[in-house]
Chain A
Amino acid sequence: ILNVEQSPQSLHVQEGDSTNFTCSFPSSNFYALHWYRWETAKSPEALFVMTLNGDEKKKGQISATLNTKEGYSYLYIKGSQPEDSATYLCAFYMAYSGAGSYQLTFGKGTKLSVIP
């Protein structure tokens, strides 16, 4: 059983604050780490797919880093806006023994609320 842990579970910040949260995953047999944003009443939307140790990705004011050796990824939001309020999910893709595994293991998410 794979454990993908996300912290904190929830977060309330003021508009304009910068924030970050963590995704921890097993450091062996790593293939990829995905980040998704899930807004209320919408479907999860892919933010980043990261595959290399040391990867840094950026999309607008959101960025992510990856450390595969120690098994963690950080998601940063600079200058949070109310529209950034969502649940942020990370998902870990590990190579399984045997062929054909297509499973991303998801964390429970970090729920971000940005207060205007």
Chain B
Amino acid sequence: SQTIHQWPATLVQPVGSPLSLECTVEGTSNPNLYWYRQAAGRGLQLLFYSVGIGQISSEVPQNLSASRPQDRQFILSSKKLLLSDSGFYLCAWSVAGVTYNSPLHFGNGTRLTVT
């Protein structure tokens, strides 16, 4: 069966510090991978998605970046965090190929607080 691991679960970082959140998927090949963020009082917002190694698409301009160094590894990074980066970050995967009728499978999330 497929599993998704996301870490860390919680993180408190000062403004201006770097960020690295990691997500790995097991039990499936070439998944579509996603990073979502839920800011306070808002719905889940797609930040990045990837259909393959090294292929990253960004949905919103921001000071975050994503990388996919391996087929089932997805990393969310920032060189300098802003207060507005605080939120709950979720990694997700879906099966490769046609996506609209494939459900997303989410990790447990990371609560990021930038102080």
Hey, which bits of chain A sit against chain B, CB under 8 A? 4, 31-32, 34, 36, 42-46, 49, 51, 89, 91, 93, 100, 102-109
Interface size on B, residues (CB 8 A): 25
How far does the Cβ of B68 sit from chain A's closest Cβ, in whole Å?
14
**B43 engages A107 (CB within 8 Å):** yes
**B49 engages A43 (CB within 8 Å):** no
Hey, which bits of chain B sit against chain A, CB under 8 A? 32, 34, 36, 41-46, 49, 51, 57, 59, 90, 99-109
How far does the Cβ of A18 sit from chain B's closest Cβ, in whole Å?
25
A-B residue pairs in contact (CB < 8 Å), sample of 21? A4-B43, A31-B100, A34-B103, A36-B104, A44-B104, A45-B106, A46-B103, A46-B105, A49-B101, A49-B102, A49-B103, A51-B100, A89-B43, A100-B51, A102-B32, A102-B46, A103-B46, A106-B43, A106-B44, A108-B42, A109-B43
A44 interface neighbour in B32, B46, B106, Cβ under 8 Å = B106
**B42 engages A44 (CB within 8 Å):** no
Beyond A107-B43, A108-B41, list 9 extra A-B contacts (CB 8 Å).
A31-B100, A34-B103, A43-B108, A43-B109, A44-B90, A46-B103, A102-B34, A102-B49, A108-B43
Distance between Cα atoms of A31 and B107 in the complex (Å): 25
Distance between Cα atoms of A108 and B39 in the complex (Å): 10
How far does the Cβ of A105 sit from chain B's closest Cβ, in whole Å?
8
Is chain A's binding surface mostly helix, strand, loop or mixed? Answer: strand
A93 CB contacts on chain B under 8 angstroms: 99-100
Distance between Cα atoms of A105 and B107 in the complex (Å): 18
**B106 engages A100 (CB within 8 Å):** no
How far does the Cβ of B4 sit from chain A's closest Cβ, in whole Å?
8
Distance between Cα atoms of A105 and B45 in the complex (Å): 7
Distance between Cα atoms of A49 and B98 in the complex (Å): 13
**A43 engages B106 (CB within 8 Å):** yes
A100 CB contacts on chain B under 8 angstroms: 51, 57
Distance between Cα atoms of A31 and B98 in the complex (Å): 11
**B43 engages A32 (CB within 8 Å):** no
Distance between Cα atoms of A93 and B103 in the complex (Å): 11
**A104 engages B43 (CB within 8 Å):** no
